[in-house]
């Protein structure tokens, strides 16, 4: 018996309703996140905490008197970026930051081969960039944005705890990343660099936005992966000695869920994504939100709808059966679609299926369900961070700015609005401004290097 369009939509709604999160659910996730953050900061529970709360050794925020040329590297996904940042003073003594950059894509064999191969490729890119800008003769201070979990021993020394986001290069985990970079530069021997700082992309984003708004004390990325950092009271950071002032903490909240905190919220699709990933059982929170996984979740939902005979007349196009075939950028394109459904139709066409209007609408509904859940999940994490800051500062009203970067946040047509609304709902007593970072990672790393250089000069090194 064929179903009417109304019946079909009702059945689709039923399947997609699993993605809906109520405010109570979000509060539960938020409180659990706060508990793990607390465990990550404390010495005795740090090892077993799923949210590692790594100290970054970034203490002071730039004051605006560092000048000079800096080189910036940014490695955090499939693209690697080299940037030349000129820091100077403008006409009225205000800050002036100029940048030139170039993107290089990282070949698969460098991502999953050996650490030596990866860092040799990186230094080859730097060499190419310096040639193009006739800068080979200069020994520049270098800031490295490295967006993976690192245990810092200082601003320029950090041990890679584990790869994420599809990287697997052997011989890097457990080693000092700055050391690997310095060794690769030495092996090439055709240029010199002074690596002064390594930071996470969330930290670089926060610092970069701090220039525009001095109330920016939180950095967040929603791109390939998802993570956040914020300024914590140093007395709460038990892994670092000292009680005075604040230090930026890289939460590494993407790993939240490793101790079962998200089990009741994980759907069958999440479990499949996790089981078929390079790091099963790890980064579960990130796998619900990050762009690396969102398209795959939608693909699995579409296959479920096909199996239930609610989509494509019950027949899945061959291409849709291939893991990773439904890219996250399709979600942004489909949800940006005007009324004529042209984008959805073209994308589905590329999968080799002749879609009806109903098919197009159902695919859009699936995309919206997955991306809305991602925005809400992410909001619970950020609300946890901001509420914690308000409490530890004993402020009745916290006015704060959050610097944000990442392709999902920037390119998805409604992620931002859904996310902002959910965060504000969960943070009464806080006035939050969201600032979208432009070229955040590279510029932020260079500015942190500028601070490090200034500090070194002041200490007479």
Which residues are marked as active site?
A: 165, 201
Joined together, the tokens standing for residue 6 give 């109304």
The backbone torsions φ and ψ at residue 326, rounded to the nearest 5 degrees and listed phi first, read -95, 105
Strands 54-55 and 68-75: unpaired
User: b/e string for 413-448 if b means 16 or more Cβ within 10 A?
Assistant: eebbebbbebbeebbeebebebbebebbbbbbbbbb
Spell out the residues 6+ positions from residue 25 whose beta carbon is closer than 8 angstroms to its own. Answer: 265
User: b/e string for 27-55 if b means 16 or more Cβ within 10 A?
Assistant: ebbbebbbebbebbbeeeeeeebbbbbbb
Check residue 252 and give left, alpha or beta (phi > 0: left; psi -120 to 50: alpha).
left
**Could you give the C-alpha distances from 446 to 391, 438, 450, in angstroms and in order?**
32, 14, 6
The backbone torsions φ and ψ at residue 188, rounded to the nearest 5 degrees and listed phi first, read -65, -50
SS3 state at 116: helix
SS3 state at 55: strand
Spatial distance between the Cα atoms of 328 and 295, rounded to a whole number of angstroms: 4
Spatial distance between the Cα atoms of 221 and 202, rounded to a whole number of angstroms: 6
DSSP for residue 320: G
Concatenated DSSP letters for 128-145? HHHHHTT-TT--EEEEEE
Closest to 388 (Cα-Cα) out of 253, 234, 231: 231
């Amino acid at each position: 018996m064929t179903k009417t369009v109304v019946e079909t939509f009702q059945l689709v709604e039923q399947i997609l309703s699993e993605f809906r999160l109520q405010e109570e659910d979000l509060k539960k996730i938020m409180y659990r996140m706060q508990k793990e953050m607390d465990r990550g900061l404390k010495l005795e529970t740090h090892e077993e905490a799923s949210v590692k709360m790594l100290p970054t050794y970034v203490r002071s925020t730039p004051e605006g008197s560092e000048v000079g040329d800096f080189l910036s590297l940014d490695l955090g996904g499939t693209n690697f970026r080299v940037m030349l940042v000129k820091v100077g003073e403008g006409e009225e003594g205000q800050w002036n930051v100029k940048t030139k950059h170039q993107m290089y894509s990282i070949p698969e064999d460098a991502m999953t081969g050996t650490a030596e191969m990866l860092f040799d490729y990186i230094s080859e890119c730097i060499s190419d960039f310096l040639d193009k800008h006739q800068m080979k003769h200069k020994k520049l201070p270098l800031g490295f944005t490295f967006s993976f979990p690192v245990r810092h021993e200082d601003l320029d020394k950090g041990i890679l705890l584990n790869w994420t986001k599809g990287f697997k290069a052997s011989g890097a985990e457990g080693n000092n990343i700055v050391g690997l970079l310095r060794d690769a530069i030495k092996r090439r021997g055709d240029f010199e660099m002074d690596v002064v700082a390594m930071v996470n992309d969330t930290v670089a984003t926060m610092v970069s936005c701090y220039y525009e708004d001095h109330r920016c004390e939180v950095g967040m990325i929603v791109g390939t992966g998802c993570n956040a950092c914020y300024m914590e009271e140093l007395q709460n950071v038990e892994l670092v000695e000292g009680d005075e002032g604040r230090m930026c903490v890289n939460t590494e909240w993407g790993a939240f869920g490793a101790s079962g905190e998200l089990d009741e919220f994980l759907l069958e699709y999440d479990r499949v994504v996790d089981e078929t990933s390079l790091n099963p059982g790890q980064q579960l929170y990130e796998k619900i939100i990050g762009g690396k996984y969102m398209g795959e979740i939608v693909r699995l939902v579409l296959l479920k709808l096909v199996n239930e005979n609610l989509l494509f007349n019950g027949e899945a196009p061959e291409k849709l059966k291939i893991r990773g075939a439904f890219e996250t950028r399709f979600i942004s394109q489909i949800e940006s679609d005007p009324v004529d459904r042209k984008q959805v139709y073209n994308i589905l066409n590329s999968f080799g299926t002749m879609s009806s209007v109903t098919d197009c609408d159902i695919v859009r509904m699936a995309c919206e369900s997955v991306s809305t859940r991602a925005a809400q999940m992410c909001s619970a994490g950020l609300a946890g961070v901001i509420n914690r800051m308000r409490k530890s500062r004993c402020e009745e009203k916290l006015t704060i700015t959050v610097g944000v970067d990442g392709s999902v946040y920037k390119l998805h047509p409604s992620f931002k609005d859904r996310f902002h609304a959910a965060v504000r709902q969960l943070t009464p007593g806080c006035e939050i401004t969201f600032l979208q970072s432009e070229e955040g990672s590279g510029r932020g790393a260079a500015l942190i290097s500028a601070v490090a250089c200034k500090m070194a000069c002041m200490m007479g090194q």
